[in-house]
Amino acid sequence: MIEQILDAAEHLFSKHGLYGVTLKDVAQRVGVHHTLLNYYFEDKKKLFDAVFARRASVTSERRMTALDEYDAATKGNPTIEGALHAFLDTDLDLYIEGGESWKNYAALGAQVANTPEWGAELMDKHFDPVVLRLIGLLKKALPDCAEEDIFWGYHFVTGALLLTLARTGRIDKLSGGLCKSDDFVAVKKRMAAFMAAGFLAICQKR
C-alpha cells in the first residue's frame, strides 16, 4: 500500500507541484479513503519528502558508486569528461531504463531544485555528498583551475541537467520536432562532452 501511495503521489506532484495536490487527490488516485494517508503520513509535506527520498537515495548511491569506481579505474587521474560521464550518465540511465515513474521523479527533482524556500534543503540533504565527490574529481582533473570556476562549472552542469529532466517541451517546439524533451539517450550522447568543453573554456580563460 505504501508503494501505491508513493507512486500516486509522485505522479501528481510531478505534474502539479507540492501546492497543487491534496492528500484527498492522492487518496482518490489510489482508490482509498484519505484518512488512510493521514495514518501513514502526518501531512502533505511529509508525504512529499517521502516521495522524493525514495528515489533520491537510489540515484545518489548509484552515482557515488560510479564516481568511486571511475576514480579507482583511473588510479586517481580522472579526466573532466570521464568524471562527468560517471556523474551524468549513471543518472540519465535511470530515466532511460526506469520508465515513466522515473521520468516523473526527474520532473519532481527539477521542481525541488528550483524552489529555494524548501527545495534547497532537500537537495542539500540528499545530494551534497555525491556532488562534492564529483567536485573532488574535477579538482584532480583541473589542478590549475580556480576553485570558484569549478563550482560555477558544476552550477551550469546541474542547471542544464535539471532543465532536461523537467521535460518542458521547449526544445521540441524550437527544433520543429528534431529534438525531443524526453530523449535522454540523445542527451547522454552529448551532455558530458559539451560540459567538459565548458570547464576547459572558463578555466583556460582565467
pLDDT tens digits for range 18-37: 999 999 999 999 998 888 88
Has residue 17 got a pLDDT over 80? yes
User: 199 vs 204, which has greater pLDDT?
Assistant: 199
Handedness of CA 166, 14, 59, 135 (dihedral sign): positive
Whether the model pTM is above 0.75: yes
Has residue 205 got a pLDDT over 90? no
pLDDT at 206: 59
pLDDT at 33: 85
Calpha distance 87→120 (Å, rounded)? 20
* Residue type, position 40, single letter: Y
* Residue 154 pLDDT class (50, 70, 90 cuts): very high
